[in-house]
Structure 1
């Protein structure tokens, strides 16, 4: 929104205020002339409607010039403000005529005021509700309802315009014998007037129905916006109907202008209706609530003033309304700024979200949404490792970045789409650790999911290996043994010597098969690990390379008991490293060193020719790296041509426990 459009809205809003203030300024003089009060002649309703619809509408159209709902609000406010000002001017001139000194054009000013309220009054429960919130009808099927609304408004306005100003049956409004202009007119024919009434009633019912249809067909975000306006529309229609059936009808009718503007303000601020500028939307919220409260204040003051006097009524109203004003102001402040002024409430709500959430990803989304609601910020996001992992609201510019620390370590960043006030710093500092806990939980969940995926992949790989071993090795061998057994059975009777040879061959192959099965079992977990522990198993493994490689195993005497997965991974990595030292590095000596703190450190160093540069990552190196990463460990290979190979593997003990 440009500065020029803001100033235009301010100037136009100032003109509305001038009209209303001018009308109110004439009120004491009208009372002195014996004219009916502002409540009795229904002008209080015009004052409230002019301010509560006109001022917000002007700011809406200044930011969104083509928005129909905003222009309807402007039309209603302008018509009511002009009508109340012209009415005050006309009443002053007409009633001064008793003493002499009529005002120019006072008769016609009163005539315009007499019918100008009609379109402004009827547009609200018909056209305004049908176009809310996006400025369009729900569908083309609602066009007849909109046409009925315009017909009803036009006929009702014309009916009042074709009647004398004395048609309004309000006691003490005009001096005795006053007729005014167009005194011979009697309005539209009854049949035409009845058509207008039917169209208006049908349009009101259709307008409320259109809100219900929109509500049922919308998503959760739009429903939150509509529910306030739908409730306010029902309340407005009900109050307008009750106003003509109770003694305090004028007061009820005046108050009927309050619910809809307040509901629209709530939708604008709390649920980002129309995407208005945050500062503007907050100004509208405070303005609508203040106008509504001041309107109620003025109504009560004028009503009681005629009964107990102006001074006493002012004191009573001040005592009665001030506590209400404090409560309304606190509510408006909470609507605009959320729970910024109440850190305890904000922390309770955030804690409730933290305890109700399920998966870590869902937890972060809930936390971001709750921070947005607590601070009344249109966009909140959580960033982790440079990427947005959760957000709430429509993405926009990031204005504030709040670091999220968990145990002194930064785990992420809270991104805010609005600049905070200086006094909001302590509250954000209180909220940030709770969000950091959620980010840490999200990270742990992601790590756990990745670890689980690696575990499943490793298990599937082991199953595939066993499948190949059994299918390609053990399976054919057993099938051959079965054939040999059948052959020997046939030779027993006719060739005993041949049967004996077959049985000997069969016995040899069975012993070989047993060795194959034992080899498969040993691959799953070598027996030396269970019998001798990791240190003894590595020593025995080194002896197996005697004649090709001199292996020295260095193990501290206080080596603690190790988790079985760590033992197996260290044994397999060491075995692969020793095999590589013999086959590829042509080493003569190799040292295997173990150390244990919070992780098991395995070092394998040989005096061979090295792996060479660049390092070729074959199956053996890939297998060693994969085994270390499966346990969240590290794998480091240092090699230079002719300087030997140095392998360092660290396997965390806590993660594998």
Structure 2
């Protein structure tokens, strides 16, 4: 494919996604569908970054995978809204298409992106086996879901039966095939995560920074996913209100990280825009996450202790809350400074050692009078902190 044809195809797919994203809220208003289906608009990140990467690097499969995910997401939400009223013309076929599109836009990018990111190539030829297993999982799930008998699992005013469902022993076998495909897909996703880990260990220089951006967002998305899984285990009939709040925050954090953060990280990594800022991003994430957890724990603990101590005197006033707020505000700066020092010492040792070296050089600079010794010290500091290939010191002579 020529570069011009690749650009035309990439931006045409982006335009198709925009049309689908614009049509979804219109269908929601006309058919009184689900307002959450307008979530397709958040997929604009996948579509735009995919079109940008595919038009500039047509040989890189990452851009085409992002466009595939975006268009499949748009079709999935449009067919969901259209099939929500079962009396609509073609609602059965819209529901049938929707029944297996979810697996396409969710699983295909999730597996193949981690296998080929960032250059669009596999880690080695042996990973082709994982690709074939992933394609087998996609085929098994799509065939099993598309031709299984019974009612389609879509939110409709009346149950919609599968128009291509095959009854009898064949239908039972197809249901089993769909389950096998999902199980195989889960196994290949684990292998895909292993591929990212191995690529990160083997990569150097620019590629390592690219993979770090991708791995950072994946790990960040894993946190709300684990929270949702833990909350789902304890949710029952009598649910605490704070658990509902935690569930909502975790869900929207996961959505934002996957639909906005992931394409942004992919665009930064592949297009190499502010690529080397990933160390700063990780550093700030560790510092402020630890700071938030520390100050939150200190605030809750102080509120409880002060309420127990002051309750006989204040009789239920908000003095404990006010004192705890002031105490946490006073702790912010020293706590942040201390946590920053601990994070630098533990995870960013080179930066920590460089800062200590510069501090020691500043102390010697105040007491050093010998120009030659000062020049040697300056060269040593530059070599230790900046690590250049060559150091030359030029001093202007006295007039």
CA shift digits 1:88-112 (9 cap, x unpaired): 23335x2xx3xxxx33x23212211
**Aligned mate of 2:60, from 60, 67, 73:** 67
* Residue 142 (structure 1) aligns with: 127
Is the 1:54–1:73 Cα contact (8 Å) retained in structure 2? yes
Q: Give the match's secondary structure for 2:138.
A: helix
Is the 1:61–1:70 Cα contact (8 Å) retained in structure 2? yes
1:29 and 2:14 correspond: no
TM-score by length of 1: 0.37
Change (3 A) 1:57 1:263: same
1:265 and 2:264 correspond: yes
Answer 1 or 2: which has greater strand percent: 1
Deviation of 1:128 after TM superposition, in Å, equals 1.1
* Residue 368 (structure 2) aligns with: none
Deviation of 1:16 after TM superposition, in Å, equals 0.9
Answer 1 or 2: which has greater helix percent: 2
1:89 and 2:85 correspond: no
Q: Give the match's secondary structure for 1:91.
A: coil
| 1:376-395 equivalent positions in 2, closer than 5 A | none
Is the 1:156–1:196 Cα contact (8 Å) retained in structure 2? yes
Change (3 A) 1:225 1:365: farther
Cα RMSD after superposing both structures: 4.3
**Aligned mate of 2:163, from 169, 178, 181:** 181
Change (3 A) 1:152 1:161: same
CA shift digits 1:38-87 (9 cap, x unpaired): 43xxx466553x32322211111011111111111111111111222233
1:208 and 2:193 correspond: yes
| 1:24-423 equivalent positions in 2, closer than 5 A | 24-31=25-32, 35=33, 37-39=34-36, 43=37, 46-48=40-42, 50-92=43-85, 94=86, 97=87, 102-103=88-89, 105-163=90-148, 166-168=151-153, 173-176=155-158, 178-179=160-161, 181-182=163-164, 185=167, 186=171, 188-189=173-174, 191-236=176-221, 239=224, 246=232, 256-260=254-258, 262-266=261-265, 268-269=267-268, 273-275=269-271, 355=358, 360=379, 363=382
CA shift digits 1:187-214 (9 cap, x unpaired): 6445534432332121111111111111
Is the 2:221–2:254 Cα contact (8 Å) retained in structure 1? yes
Alpha-carbon distance between aligned partners in 2 of 1:366 and 1:153, rounded to the nearest angstrom: 50
Structure 1 alignment gaps of length 5 or more: 280-350, 370-388, 391-441, 449-651
Deviation of 1:24 after TM superposition, in Å, equals 1.6
Structure 2 alignment gaps of length 5 or more: 236-243, 275-353, 362-376
Alpha-carbon distance between aligned partners in 2 of 1:13 and 1:353, rounded to the nearest angstrom: 50
Alpha-carbon distance between aligned partners in 2 of 1:159 and 1:238, rounded to the nearest angstrom: 32
Is the 2:133–2:188 Cα contact (8 Å) retained in structure 1? yes
* Residue 287 (structure 2) aligns with: none
Change (3 A) 1:355 1:107: same
Alpha-carbon distance between aligned partners in 2 of 1:258 and 1:365, rounded to the nearest angstrom: 41
Change (3 A) 1:208 1:180: closer
CA shift digits 1:404-446 (9 cap, x unpaired): xxxxxxxxxxxxxxxxxxxxxxxxxxxxxxxxxxxxxx76x15
Deviation of 1:118 after TM superposition, in Å, equals 0.8
Q: How many equivalent residue pairs?
A: 286
CA shift digits 1:529-582 (9 cap, x unpaired): xxxxxxxxxxxxxxxxxxxxxxxxxxxxxxxxxxxxxxxxxxxxxxxxxxxxxx
Question: Which sits farther off after the overlay, 69-78 or 139-148?
Answer: 139-148
Deviation of 1:136 after TM superposition, in Å, equals 1.2
